[in-house]
Amino acid sequence: MDYTARERDADFLMNDVFDVQKSWAEIEAYQELSSDLIKAVVAEGGRLASEIMAPLNEVGDAHGCELKDGEVITPPGFKDAFAQLTQGGWLGLSGNPAFGGQGMPKSVAGLIEEMFWAANSSLFLYGSLTVGACLSIDAHGSAEQKNTYLEKLYSGQWTGAMALTESHAGTDLGMMRTKAEPQADGSYNITGTKIFITSGEHDMAENIVHLTLARIVDGPKGTKGISLFIVPKFLPNEDGSLGPRNGWASGSLEHKMGINGSATSVINYDGAKGFLLGEEHQGLGAMFTMMNYERLSVGLQGLGAGDLAYQHSARYAQDRIQGRSATGAQNPDAEADSLLVHPDVRRMLLTQRAYVDGCRAFAFFAGMQLDAAKHKGDEQADRFGQLLTPVVKAFLTDKGLEGAVMAQQILGGHGYVKEWGVEQIVRDARIAQIYEGANGIQALDLAGRKVVRDGGKTLAELLDVLAEFEIDPEHEPQVAQAFARLLRASQSMVARSNEDANLPGAVSADFLDLMGMTLCAWAWGVMAHQAGDDDFGLAKKQTARFFFARLLPRTLGLEQSILASSDVLMDMPEALFNA
């Protein structure tokens, strides 16, 4: 499945839109990063994505993974491709240099992740979970745990996985039953069953390190009693070599709608030896260090799917001839004109492109906030990063699937059959709205925890900061109106939530959509101002015009929906849902 890495877009964001060298000059860890070095890193990441990972995308879908004699076998070619991914140091791109990471900015790593997700989401899942595990161990682990695990995880010699979900609990982690029994040597015996464990078992690394949530025996009930444990497949010896096999195994593989090249296991823990990560009964905080990274990364998965779908449908529309232009034949020497003469095909393509490029820009901005919070101790940037995380996760994955479905529509019948590849993009993109916190949970987190809880203060501060960017004069009034609309909606939601506990949940999905659209409007206003007069710049300006004329007006309806009361949802008796 062909994929072209967006190197020019990456360069445009870093150097024209956000001038990252200026912000990096204020961060000691980044002061030696030259634009030439970053350009080379992006180019090599793009080469790996397009030449090594992308050709295996359809292979992974066709072959899937196989569970044989307790071992999981990944699709043909995956092992070699993963070796190239790990040997290049890509799993440690933004990792701690003290343990072998490269210490690159998260904003840059996000651009690379988008490429990897677009090229082969199943393959990159083995790496993404590893990066998240590293973050959690680096933030909460002891010196011994960091020395034991981080270097081998960054190198890909070992990989990581996150074991949260149980069949009866789902999102309600307080109901989990997996138990941890303290042992005399300071370890714990972990017993229970987890489902939907991505990369929980596979054949691409010599060891697999599970970060597993469990309840210590006699610990507090509910979420307050949950602890986090490092539970490796093979127990490490003191010298770092592999010791005996631990007491867990993959009981089965899930049969899924998509991402078939990614092994998703049921994991049975039978007295497996685990090591407490962080403090007892503080497991959710430690796990959410990993989870918040995964949420941002999954947002980029949605973005990658949307861009891959756009690339396929744009090429198809240009090459496919069918029908004539309403204004007369544009290609009179051929039997028909290209699909691009048809306004509705252009509508779908421009919608795809408007969301892909706009979302890439504000996701990059979110990455910059994480960099500033981590290296400058910037409290405001930290709050901005937390506020933007659910929007990046949910809005980008929603628009990624929407774009994939539009690509399928552009290809018509060819979009529905396997040989053209677009139906795989649709299937692969769907999971991103569900895992790492379903999008409804992201919306509730944004509305309830991030906006209502602080009275909308952080959102108002964010809009003030965004307003300081130079906006293209043609679109400046529309961006200002979008900001005002979002601010009005947030103030209304905060005020009414004081008397209506259901209100945040009732309007949260629309509120997240409104915020995502507003961030896209801001991004397009900035990009249109910075775009040049070459083909690349003209395409940006034309797409901006389309976004403001045809997509941004949707926020008018979203605002009206947010003003509705919760009783239109909550007054219907439960029995009537089956009437």
Q: Which residues are catalytic?
A: 436
Q: Would you tell me the crossing angle of helices 343-376 and 379-411 to the nearest 10 degrees? A: 160
CA–CA dist 176, 171 (Å, integer): 10
Tokens (6 digits) for 391? 């929007």
- Structure-token match 């180019």, residue found: 43
Tokens (6 digits) for 342? 């048809």
Number of H helices, E strands in the chain: 19, 11
- Structure-token match 């396997």, residue found: 418
- Residues whose CB falls within 8 Å of the CB of residue 295, separated by 6 or more in sequence, listed in order: 389, 390, 392, 393, 436, 437, 442
CA–CA dist 97, 103 (Å, integer): 5
The one-letter amino acid at 72: V
Contact present, 205 and 217 (Cβ < 8 Å): no
Contact present, 495 and 438 (Cβ < 8 Å): no
Supply the DSSP string of 43-78, one letter for each residue.
HHHHHIIIIIIGGGHHHHHHH--EEETTEEEPPTTH
Query: E-assigned strands of 262-324?
Result: 264-276
- Residues whose CB falls within 8 Å of the CB of residue 60, separated by 6 or more in sequence, listed in order: 74, 75, 78, 120, 122, 123, 260, 261, 262
In angstroms, what CA-CA distances link 533 with 8, 540, 542?
Answer: 15, 10, 11
Contact present, 209 and 161 (Cβ < 8 Å): yes
CA–CA dist 94, 80 (Å, integer): 23
Supply the DSSP string of 460-485, one letter for each residue.
HHHHHHHTTS---TTTHHHHHHHHHH
- Residues whose CB falls within 8 Å of the CB of residue 180, separated by 6 or more in sequence, listed in order: 188, 189, 190, 214, 215, 216, 217, 227, 229, 274
